[in-house]
Amino acid sequence: MTTTTPLTQDEQIDALGRYKFGWADSDLAGATAARGISESVVRNISGLKNEPEWMLERRLKGLKLFDKKPMPSWGSDLSGIDFQNIKYFVRSTEKQATSWDDLPADIKNTYDKLGIPEA
């Protein structure tokens, strides 16, 4: 009987990089998206989505509540979250496709990598 030595944490992380479905595509849609959360970002997102004024006001009210609340002290440590480095809204760069031929090449390539047949 052979025994194997458990992988170290670094070895486990390295192995994740070799995951069969582990690749990254370009982020064209997110290239121009603003990072962070602020009143101006909320107003911008609401404008991009053509939301009514009442929805903007609701979002701004939610932002004020978010800003007042402390991070939870129960559960996992969330202090490392950098809320100013998150993109909260990314608009698609493509229109809705109605057929396989209408899909952008990068989406077709992703489907191929995942083994999803043309539908």
Q: Tell me, what's the pLDDT at 116? A: 84
- Distance, CA of 72 to CA of 17 (rounded, Å): 32
Q: Tell me, what's the pLDDT at 105? A: 82
Q: Produce one character per residue of 40-79: b if its CB has 16 or more CB atoms within 10 Å, e if not.
A: ebbeebbeeeeeeeeebeebeeebeeeeeeeeeeeeeeee
Q: Tell me, what's the pLDDT at 15? A: 72
- Distance, CA of 59 to CA of 65 (rounded, Å): 10
Instruction: Note if the pTM is more than 0.75.
Output: no
Cα angle at 45 between 43 and 108, to 5 degrees? 175
Please determine, for residue 20, whether its predicted confidence score (pLDDT) is greater than 70. no
Residue spans per domain, the chain: 33-71+80-92
Give 36-71 pLDDT, tens digit per residue.
Answer: 999 999 999 999 889 999 999 999 999 999 999 999
